[in-house]
Amino acid sequence: MRIIAGERRGARIAAPKGDTTRPTSDRVREAAYNLIGPVEDAAVLDLFAGSGAMGLEALSRGARRCVFVESDRAACRVIQENLEKLRFSGAALVLQKDAFQALREERGRTYDLVIVDPPYGSWPELASRLAEALPATLAVDGFLVVETSARIEPDLPLERVTSRRYGSARITLFTR
């Protein structure tokens, strides 16, 4: 995997070993950021961060800060290593915890960009809890990006901007 654009364009990033995470492919990340547009000076929340590729991409493209939330210890270690390699450590925070615990703790804070990329098979069980928690986390005029299996059309109490398939993945963009 590599960073697609921005000041660290072309830099290789690591992904956790094994099948506990499913890193967002370069192609899907590029498509997502083409839909999102500029992220300079944005505050970013990357939930179910996995390898952290989406948040790292935001930092490379000029985001001010990114909070990575991932429950898997090995994945958190890889995110931290990627941040150090890319010299983004000062602009990021890695939280090893459940996404909903992090959302409760982040209550009152808003983000310009929220990225949600849970395990593909878990969307049906997470959807209602995410629908309840995410709107308060998203800044006015902010964007929420949800990556799911191509077969799933996520529905949240936010304005849907677009939903597009990229192979086995679907990117759905919401705004407030």
Q: Which residues are CB-neighbours of 157 under 8 A, at least 6 positions away?
A: 131, 135
CA-wise closest residue to 149 among 127, 125, 117, 175: 117
Q: What is the mean pLDDT of residues 45-50?
A: 96
Nearest to 64 by CA among 102, 37, 30, 90: 90
Q: What is the pLDDT of residues 95-123, one digit of tens each?
A: 999 999 999 998 889 999 999 999 888 99
- Judged against a pLDDT cut of 80, whether residue 18 lies above it is answered with no
Reported as a pLDDT band with limits 50, 70 and 90, residue 71 is very high
Packing angle between helix 53-60 and helix 73-86, nearest 10 degrees? Answer: 20
**92: amino acid identity, one letter:** A
In this prediction, residue 146 has a pLDDT band, given cuts at 50, 70 and 90, of: very high
The label of the residue with tokens 């996404």 reads 99
Higher pLDDT, 49 or 89: 49
Query: Worst-scoring range by mean pLDDT, 19-33, 83-97, 130-144?
Result: 19-33
Neighbours of 20 (CB within 10 A): 12
Question: In order of start, what are the domains of the chain with their CATH numbers?
Answer: 26-175 (3.40.50.150)
8 to 18, 31, 46, 100: CA distances (angstroms):
26, 18, 18, 31
Q: Which two tokens stand for residue 111?
A: 């983000």
pTM to 2 decimal places? 0.94
Residue 140 parent element (H or E): strand 138-149
